[in-house]
Amino acid sequence: MIQKTKDLQYIPLSRDAGLSGYQALAERVIDTPLGKVSLAANQFGLSHLSFLPGQDDDFAAREVTLVARDRQALEQAEAHLDQAERELSAYFAGKLTTFSLALAPVGTPFQHRVWQALLAHPFGDAASYSDIASAIDNPKAVRAVGSANGANRIAIIIPCHRIIGKGGALTGYAYGLGIKRQLLALEAEAVGESL
């Protein structure tokens, strides 16, 4: 059952916020069991998490533009990257089911509502686009929910991989169905072990 949205740790930003100081300040590439992942953050939290394509992958890397800021803001961004790396390591080890790091995604108010519903969705459980549309009290917005899901720039943590077709079929994922399948399997195994 989908829960109604809850309070989040990210700052709601407008579509133009990326032009007014909320862009990424620092970036780091880490190795995960599913391949290399690019992380980027600003002084407010993690702003990007994306898989980097391997030799056999058919998706393109998502570009991140870094902006220059003062030393204090850069140190805050680096601290968010440190925490993201620690939490992702625990997630992939099956020891973390809820992320606590601050998030700073840039998007429209509607996208933020969808992302908030994704964050509220239980670890290890899949939902459909219509489930998420209902969770944000807009059941007719199924296509718009799909679009917002595709616009998510913080993979794994804002868990767009948990969204599947209404009939239970795997649907598109920016990083390919293979990675989506592996993320769902990792979470299912972690939930099975914790019961």
State the helix-helix crossing angle for 109-120 and 142-151, rounded to 10 degrees.
90
Say whether 47 sits in a helix, a strand or coil.
strand
Task: With beta carbons less than 8 A apart as the criterion, state whether 77 and 85 touch.
Answer: no
CB 142 within 8 A of CB 127: no
Q: Is 160 a catalytic residue?
A: yes
Phi/psi of residue 26, nearest 5 degrees: -145, 150
The whole-angstrom separation of Cα 142 and Cα 187 is 25
**Exposed / middle / buried, residue 88 (Cβ in 10 Å: 0-12, 13-18, 19+):** buried
Query: Pick the catalytic residue: 160, 183, 184, 186?
Result: 160
Q: What positions carry a catalytic annotation?
A: 160
